[in-house]
A and B are shown apart, each in its own frame.
Chain A
């Protein structure tokens, strides 16, 4: 099946700093989503982005499908950005069914 690798595994930032989180995948995709899992375990949808670029406030994401990677940018980080960021994909040829998740990137933003 499709493989998803996220990097770096851990990231520590000072409040106000910018960061880039990376997701590499091993095959063409139908679906790619970025999630933020907050300290209470809730998965919050950030972006649905199988290709192209989107922005939402301080966050933006780019997926380059032909090169099999996606990037999540966080600007002017805040302590509330802390948590785990997951990239999840569904391989092309799938029936828009299961997502395969990466292991996540743990972000800690210090005041």
Chain B
């Protein structure tokens, strides 16, 4: 079946511009996560959605970052007034819920470069 998909795969933007990144989770997965990976580093958690519960935003680094999810499908991560330190790969993951496993499956990521 189809895996997690993300778009765009690459995004180059000028400092100060807003960007929007998209994630399509695996069908039937009710949990969705965003992570960030800086060059040569491990992944950092950003935000988590599960069903109709309030999202866990505890990993968002500043109020320039926000995310939305439509029901149990598509999610968008928005970064306003981008800064050079926002340059990273942004990865989305999804997982099933309440069926004995919470294994997370990752998309290919969006590589964001802020010039």
Question: A residues near B, CB below 8 A?
Answer: 30-31, 33, 35, 40-43, 45, 48, 86, 88, 90, 95-104
Chain B: CB-nearest residue to A99: B104
Q: Is the pair A98, B59 in contact by a Cβ cutoff of 8 Å? A: yes
CA of A31 to CA of B104 in the docked complex: distance in angstroms? 10
Q: Is the pair A98, B33 in contact by a Cβ cutoff of 8 Å? A: yes
Q: Given A41-B109, A102-B42, A103-B42 in contact, is the A97-B103 Cβ separation under 8 Å? A: no
CA of A104 to CA of B44 in the docked complex: distance in angstroms? 13
Chain A: CB-nearest residue to B98: A96
Q: Given A42-B108, A103-B42 in contact, is the A98-B48 Cβ separation under 8 Å? A: yes
Chain A: CB-nearest residue to B111: A41
B102 surroundings in chain A (CB, below 8 A) = 30-31, 90, 96
Chain B: CB-nearest residue to A31: B102
Q: Given A30-B102, A41-B109, A43-B91 in contact, is the A99-B43 Cβ separation under 8 Å? A: yes
How many pairs of residues, A versus B, come closer than 8 Å at their CB atoms? 56
CA of A49 to CA of B36 in the docked complex: distance in angstroms? 23
Shortest A83–chain B CB gap in Å is: 13
Q: Is the pair B45, A99 in contact by a Cβ cutoff of 8 Å? A: yes
Q: Is the pair A101, B103 in contact by a Cβ cutoff of 8 Å? A: no
Partner of B103, one of A43, A45, A95, A104: A45
Residue pairs across A and B with Cβ atoms less than 8 A apart, 26 shown, are A30-B102, A31-B102, A41-B111, A42-B106, A45-B103, A88-B43, A90-B102, A95-B50, A96-B31, A96-B97, A97-B31, A97-B33, A97-B48, A97-B50, A98-B45, A98-B56, A98-B58, A98-B59, A99-B33, A99-B43, A99-B45, A100-B45, A101-B43, A103-B41, A103-B42, A104-B42
Chain B: CB-nearest residue to A96: B102
